[in-house]
């Protein structure tokens, strides 16, 4: 199978290992990715390949048996555990979280009482989602982060109002798993997913990962080259959201195959009921049109409405490692790509080729800035938007707009304060797009609101507009009261 065979291919066949290895190597070089692994599964057959090295210092080669961190793809595993508890009749998705976690508390009392398990699953709970405080390596780490929400779980919007990606919500889901099973999230994952699926290369922390051929994360150094990330994993407190789980691309598509089979395993037992497996793919909330994040979110899965689809999936990123999982359930096809640094975005090209040739799915080409940007009302976009962990300033520029993004809080403490300035132009009356591509993709920002000024800017996270002169640290996002922010109602 050659590259020219992919578009419009009539035959539905797995790509060859040689093709995968060649394309993976080409794209890794383009994206400055030290090492990568890919697996493609169709039915019961899997083809895999790897390229590069696991560690730029040692030069240890990446293989198809190497494990990489999968980041937020972990959320689909956590959602699977939650749906197993639904199958067992001990959990109701539409019950308030406090039904199962009596001590659950946010800064906003009304939200505390009303947030449901379903809203956590589909990222509509409306509270601060990027809290990565370290509560140590012990078995109480997840409980520690959930307790931390009482003082730091600031309200972004009313529960159920919109989508905003929320890591902290998945930590709360992991805590529900711990309380209802009486054991840690890691032990439950092993007992209920890893063992039934027969997965042999799964690690839920550094102590397990060291037993495998394990990828080391890499970040961009001062001279633009890849250097080792300062730590191998993020705190255990965020494990259910994706801070620790590592596996191979082959084991990842084996997990996906159980969802393709609607929860049925090869030995006739079930990972999930058919009803729960299908429910996870049902749209729960629309997602702003900003590119690779799809069109809607289900119960754990990101949903993509592509020609020849549907497609479900998730991306993942930790400090220095990143991953892609895409699944075409109707064709029984899944592809996983795992990387240890560089620009993940270049790998979507391989996803596009494989889905076209194996599943007949046409993944859209990435958006690019219009040659002649439309005329828009700049007042709608310009302003400061912030949460506890991100602050964004949008101003007019000679070419269009300039956006300055600054990390705050724990994220800034962990990886160092990041200040990034991006030149933008209007894609349409409600969306700005970066002039320059980053990792093969042009970042996009959707602005939400029906008045003459946007109420939120959306870049998977919804950041509320701040009142003029209001600093991020004193924002409604932290006080649990975004109603005082300027801008019209959504």
Q: Are residues 212 and 232 in contact, defined by beta-carbon separation less than 8 angstroms?
A: no
**Cβ neighbours, 10 Å, residue 220:** 14
| 79's tokens | 């959602």
Strand pairing category for 202-203 and 401-407: unpaired
Which DSSP symbol is given to 176? H
State the distance between the two ends of the chain, measured CA to CA, in whole angstroms.
49
Which DSSP symbol is given to 103? T
Q: Are residues 173 and 120 in contact, defined by beta-carbon separation less than 8 angstroms?
A: yes
Residue entry with tokens 């828009």: 376
Residue entry with tokens 């003082």: 151
List, by residue number, the catalytic residues. Answer: 72
Helix (H, G, I), strand (E, B) or coil at 302: strand
Q: Are residues 67 and 145 in contact, defined by beta-carbon separation less than 8 angstroms?
A: no
Distances (CA, A) of 348 to 195, 326, 438, 441: 31, 10, 13, 9
Q: Phi/psi of residue 484, each to 5°?
A: -80, -10
Question: How far apart are alpha carbons 133 and 410 in whole angstroms?
Answer: 6
Question: How far apart are alpha carbons 68 and 215 in whole angstroms?
Answer: 5
Going by C-alpha positions, the residue among 354, 382, 397 that lies closest to residue 465 is 382
Question: How far apart are alpha carbons 242 and 174 in whole angstroms?
Answer: 11
Q: Are residues 17 and 249 in contact, defined by beta-carbon separation less than 8 angstroms?
A: no
Degrees to nearest 5, angle at CA 130 with 116 and 413: 155
CA atoms within 13 A on the CB side of 8: 1
Partnered with residue 425 across adjacent β-strands are: 433
């Amino acid at each position: 199978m050659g590259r020219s065979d992919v578009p419009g291919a009539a035959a539905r066949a797995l790509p060859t290992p040689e093709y995968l290895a060649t394309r993976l190597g080409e794209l890794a070089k383009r994206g400055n990715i030290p090492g990568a692994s890919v697996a493609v599964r169709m039915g019961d057959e899997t083809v895999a390949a790897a390229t590069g090295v696991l560690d730029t210092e040692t030069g240890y080669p990446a293989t198809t048996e190497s494990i990489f961190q999968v980041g937020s793809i972990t959320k689909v595993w956590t959602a699977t555990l939650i749906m197993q508890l639904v199958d067992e009749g001990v959990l109701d998705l539409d019950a308030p979280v406090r039904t199962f976690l009596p001590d659950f508390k946010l800064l906003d009392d009304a939200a505390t009482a009303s947030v449901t398990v379903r809203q956590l699953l589909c990222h509509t709970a409306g509270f601060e989602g990027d809290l990565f405080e370290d509560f140590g390596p012990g078995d109480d780490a997840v409980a520690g982060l959930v307790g931390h929400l009482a003082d730091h779980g600031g309200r972004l919007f009313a529960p159920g109002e919109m989508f905003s990606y929320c890591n902290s919500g998945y930590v709360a889901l992991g805590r529900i798993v711990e309380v209802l099973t009486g054991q840690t999230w890691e032990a439950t994952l092993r007992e209920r997913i890893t063992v039934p699926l027969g997965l042999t290369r799964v690690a839920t922390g550094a102590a397990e990962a060291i037993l495998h051929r394990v990828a080391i994360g890499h970040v961009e150094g001062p001279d633009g080259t890849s250097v080792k990330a300062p730590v191998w994993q993020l705190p255990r407190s965020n494990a259910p959201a994706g801070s620790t789980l590592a596996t191979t691309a082959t084991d990842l598509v084996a997990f996906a195959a159980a969802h393709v089979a609607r929860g049925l395993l090869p030995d006739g037992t079930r990972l999930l009921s058919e009803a729960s497996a299908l429910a996870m793919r049902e749209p729960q909330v629309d997602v702003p049109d900003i590119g690779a994040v799809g069109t809607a979110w289900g119960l754990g899965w990101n949903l993509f409405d592509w020609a020849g689809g549907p497609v479900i999936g998730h991306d993942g990123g930790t400090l220095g490692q990143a991953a892609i999982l895409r699944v075409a359930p109707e064709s029984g096809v899944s592809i996983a790509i795992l990387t240890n640094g560089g620009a993940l975005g270049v790998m979507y090209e391989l996803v596009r080729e494989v889905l076209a040739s194996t599943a007949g799915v046409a993944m859209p080409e990435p958006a690019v800035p219009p040659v002649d940007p439309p005329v828009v009302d700049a007042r709608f976009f310009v302003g400061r938007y912030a949460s506890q962990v991100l602050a964004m300033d949008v101003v007019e520029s000679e070419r269009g707009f300039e956006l300055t993004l600054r990390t705050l809080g724990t994220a800034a403490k962990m990886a160092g304060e990041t200040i990034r300035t991006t030149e933008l132009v209007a894609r349409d009356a409600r969306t700005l797009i970066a002039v320059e591509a980053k990792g093969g993709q042009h970042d996009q920002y959707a602005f939400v609101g029906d008045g003459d000024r946007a109420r939120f800017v959306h870049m998977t996270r919804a950041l509320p507009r701040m009142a003029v002169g209001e600093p991020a640290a004193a924002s409604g996002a932290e006080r649990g009261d975004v109603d005082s922010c300027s801008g019209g109602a959504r």
